[in-house]
Amino acid sequence: MAERVAKENGVEEIKYLALTVGELSGYMPIFFEQYFPIVTEDRPLFKDAKLVIETVKGEALCNECQSLYNVMKHEGTCPKCGSREKTILGGQEFALKEIGY
């Protein structure tokens, strides 16, 4: 996607890619960090490009007691009442946030 956008806009060098990755998205930032150099090594457009990853916490609102909590930290269970019934408020994101030229 970044390569296509850069070509459409006449960009010859990408300096960085910024991703937003939620804790609950199913994507693990470590894999992007490990494979980014491999995926970009034969692409001159990305010669010195850096990868910037913003991690979004997985937050939920308990449907029973209305407490706000971190889903990952508490393994999906409300720390206040022990309920597993929740409404996910954030952390499912996965997006290419920014392309730095």
pLDDT at 50: 97
What is the domain partition of the chain in residue ranges?
2-100
Residues 50, 85 contacting (CB under 8 angstroms): no
Task: Dump pLDDT digits (tens) for 7-27.
Answer: 899 999 999 999 999 999 999
Per-residue confidence at 63, pLDDT binned at 50, 70, 90? very high
Give me the CATH code for the 2-100 domain, please.
3.30.2320.80
How confident is the model over 30-56, as a mean pLDDT?
95
Strand extents, DSSP E, the chain: 16-22, 50-56, 59-62, 68-70, 86-90, 94-100
**pTM for the model:** 0.83
Could you tell me whether strands 50-56 and 16-22 are parallel, antiparallel, or unpaired per DSSP bridges?
parallel
Tell me the C-alpha distance between 75 and 93, whole Å.
19
pLDDT of residue 87: 98
Token pair for 91: 């952390």
Residue-wise pLDDT for 64-83, tens only, equals 999 999 999 999 999 999 99
